[in-house]
Amino acid sequence: MRGSTFYYVNDVLGQPFFAVEQVVDEGLLKTLRNIIIPRLLSEVPGQPSLQELEKDPRLYRFMIIFDREGYSPDFFREMWVEHRKEKSELLEEIEQFQFELGKLKAERKKHPKHIDFDELPENLQFERLKPSKRLFFDTVKMLVYRAETAMANTVRQFLDRDDARVLIRQLMKSHADIIPDTEGKILNVRIHRFTTRRHDRAIGDLLTTLNETETPYPGTDMKLVYSLTG
């Protein structure tokens, strides 16, 4: 029995793009068709124009990578015809795949994969849990990941190896002294140094970048000022 399911859509860099909640989930295929692809068509930047699509029969609007649950030659054909508005050699290839998979699909269709929610006994029909708490945590996770990625991109230019994200995670766990200056309206955040000069130099440059934003501590008029100490 399927319950409340979340589908997370990431961009080409693996960063969160948006999330979709299905209370009574009908499967990935229907979610792709009815929700995810319509949103991608309206929100993905840099899509080719209709003229560009007509000139190049193999050009696509965007690429989607998903689990095998979404595999369906019928679905691929439907998306290609609907969003390309033309026939191509790919349609013939899909028809060939459909013919080869016909027997296998017939065997699988002998038994239903899922039972409808309304067909469940009354004592097994669950009540929907409030999604607000989970959505709040998911939102926080997405924001934290984006912040981590932005800081990792900043320090990566100062490192010889691609260990920027590991260093940022170490920074988040490191000790710091918080010293308020009420007269100067400054909140000093003095972070303890790292084990190598190379990491100190990278974090020092990151802190300089953060200080240039002159960000106030939320709910106060005190400006955050970061520095290394020790």
State the pLDDT confidence band at 187, using cuts at 50, 70 and 90.
very high
Q: Could you tell me what percent of the chain has a pLDDT over 90? A: 16
State the pLDDT confidence band at 90, using cuts at 50, 70 and 90.
low
Q: Look up the pTM and report it.
A: 0.43
227: DSSP letter = E
Instruction: Please give the average per-residue pLDDT across 50-58, as a whole number.
Output: 78
Are both 90 and 181 inside the same structural domain?
Answer: no
Are both 111 and 171 inside the same structural domain?
Answer: no
32, with CB counted inside 10 A (0-12, 13-18, 19+), is buried
pLDDT at 159 over 80: no
CA dist., res. 204 & res. 226, Å (int): 9
Are both 198 and 91 inside the same structural domain?
Answer: no
Instruction: Please give the average per-residue pLDDT across 5-24, as a whole number.
Output: 83
| Averaged pLDDT of the chain | 82
Structural domain boundaries enclosing 193: 134-229
Are both 149 and 205 inside the same structural domain?
Answer: yes
Span 133-158, pLDDT tens digits? 778 888 888 988 898 888 888 888 77
Instruction: Please give the average per-residue pLDDT across 94-105, as a whole number.
Output: 76
| Per-residue pLDDT at 76 | 84
Are both 68 and 85 inside the same structural domain?
Answer: yes
- Of the three residues 129, 149, 164, the one that is the final residue of a domain is 129
State the pLDDT confidence band at 223, using cuts at 50, 70 and 90.
very high
| Per-residue pLDDT at 57 | 73
Are both 164 and 193 inside the same structural domain?
Answer: yes
Are both 109 and 191 inside the same structural domain?
Answer: no
Name the token pair of 15: 């960063």
- Of the three residues 108, 129, 150, the one that is the final residue of a domain is 129
Instruction: Please give the average per-residue pLDDT across 159-178, as a whole number.
Output: 84
pLDDT at 13 over 70: yes
103, with CB counted inside 10 A (0-12, 13-18, 19+), is exposed
Are both 105 and 143 inside the same structural domain?
Answer: no
Span 105-118, pLDDT tens digits? 777 777 677 777 77
Are both 20 and 106 inside the same structural domain?
Answer: yes
Are both 124 and 65 inside the same structural domain?
Answer: yes
Are both 60 and 147 inside the same structural domain?
Answer: no
Instruction: Please give the average per-residue pLDDT across 172-185, as a whole number.
Output: 91
Instruction: Please give the average per-residue pLDDT across 78-82, as a whole number.
Output: 77
Are both 196 and 125 inside the same structural domain?
Answer: no
State the pLDDT confidence band at 1, using cuts at 50, 70 and 90.
very low
**Count of domains in the chain?**
2
Q: Residue 206's closest CA among 170, 155, 158? A: 155
pLDDT at 88 over 60: no
- Of the three residues 129, 154, 169, the one that is the final residue of a domain is 129
